[in-house]
Structure 1
């Protein structure tokens, strides 16, 4: 028992010491374009990579990037495998019970359904969504049959191979899949979440303050809006 208590205490101490470390490890999924993805050189790229690097520069922090599967991304933050989450993660009350968030760096935006053809009855459909997302939680309340997958790409594949009738995810992730005409938007957009923010351990208040200050500065000087338009288009929500 005493060994278990000591081990738990040491883990908490280690996890709480991120700000004192020489390098801040930025955790992301690397599989949710244009928010984050792995480029042809095997490097993390996308909106959150560019934004995160700029935030680290403004906060005078040395940062490196770490990838982690979405379904374990919060547990591995809490256990100390990295120090932040920048992975298109919506701020929700449920997640706030486990981790802390910075202020949002992307305003609340809509989620949408895609299907092979218009006119599908979504309430009676089989709908694919990525596990552990607010979109999966929403589908579960609609009366539709929820089919969960580990990655966004798998949700798209499930619709294209007939395993699911529709897919539900962030509008910015799904819209590129309509360009070849194989999938179309069905139903109305659904606003979910409180915007997208950076996740941190609750013990890292000083690190959170550093990043909040940097996000505020980018909002005030317009550079965050410039990045949002670069990756999500001129019609995207801005500050």
Structure 2
């Protein structure tokens, strides 16, 4: 990967990068199989591979900064990294703050411990239940919307417990401290595959997932790299390995003044 980058010359000016010759990406590696740390301590997952491939095609060295989601947007805007590569959900409000590249379709699942002891089969069954979710993300926002919807129906709301990451939320679920966890479909499926958990609801609130770049010039170069991957088939091949649905059409950038 690094050898390939060193053999070509990037067209990205130094002023558009946090670190000369590198593409610095923030990531929260607690969402297997999309982004996680393996037993040897190495970053793995679909989004890691995607970031590495984009960097290679831009003739840059991929560098990842492991951090919690709550630091992502402030860190991007203050110039700590070039790109948020953690599966950030796209919203028009966020696109007013940074240059977003929606590329992946994701939705939200509800996970329980194996056997679904609470008998959760619909969102109404969550009334009065305690749920865990990563703090500050789209998933927390949707959990709070579910809470409001239940209250509006005259039902008990949710007790929402926030965690620094989804790994901690699933640990609390396993320990019996929660009735359910709220996360993306792919992560819920992976935890169910590993054993100990069931996905009892999925496909809720389907929303595009994006990369987010610090500046327009870098974002547009990344979009070109992804479009090249789409043309040669490597983009679809990568997402297929993880059962992820791509956004249809050519990759585009949405951001301030675009």
TM-score by length of 1: 0.82
CA contact (8 A) 1:123 1:142 kept: no
After TM superposition, give the deviation of residue 19 of structure 1 in Å. Answer: 7.1
Matched, 1:237 2:241: no
Counterpart in the other structure of 1:192? 206
Distance change in 2, residues 1:187/1:80 (3 Å): same
**What is the root-mean-square deviation in Å for CA atoms of aligned residues?**
2.2
Cross-structure match for 2:119: 119
Is 1:33 equivalent to 2:37 in the alignment?
Answer: no
Match of 2:106 in 1: 109
Q: Please state whether the residue corresponding to 1:81 is helix, strand or coil.
A: coil
User: Conserved in 1, the CA contact under 8 Å of 2:23 and 2:61?
Assistant: yes
Q: Gaps spanning 5+ residues in structure 2: where?
A: 1-14, 148-157, 249-258
Match for residue 4 of structure 1? none
8 Å Cα contact 2:16-2:218 kept in structure 1: no
- 2:107–2:202 Cα contact (<8 Å) kept: no
Q: Does the Cα contact within 8 Å between 1:134 and 1:192 map onto a contact in 2?
A: no
- Retained in 2: the 8 A contact 1:19–1:207? no
SS of 2:111's partner is strand
Specify the alignment match of 2:76 in structure 1. 77
Q: Secondary structure at the match of 2:89?
A: coil
Distance in 2 (alpha carbons) for counterparts of 1:54 and 1:76: 23
After superposition, the C-alpha distances for 1:77-129 in whole angstroms (9 at most, x for unaligned) are: 11111111111111112322322212x232x2221101131623213211111
Alignment partners' CA distance in 1, 2:202 and 2:222: 35
Partner of 1:9: none
Task: Say how many residue pairs are matched.
Answer: 217
Equivalent residue, structure 2, for 1:227: 238
Alignment counterpart, residue 180 of structure 2, candidates 154, 163, 166 = 166
Unaligned runs of 5+ in 1: 1-15
Cα separation, partners in 2 of 1:205 and 1:157, compared to 1, 3 Å? same
Q: Distance in 1 between matches of 2:201 and 2:56?
A: 42
What secondary structure does 1:157 align onto?
Answer: helix
Check conservation: 1:105, 1:197, Cα contact below 8 A.
yes
Which residue number corresponds to residue 137 of structure 1? 141
Return the alpha-carbon distance in structure 2 between the equivalents of residues 18 and 184 of structure 1.
Answer: 42
1:131-174 residue CA offsets vs partner (Å, 9 max, x unmatched): 11111101101122211111111111121222211111101011
- Stretches of 4+ aligned residues off by more than 4 angstroms: none
| TM-score of the aligned structures, taking structure 2 as reference length | 0.76
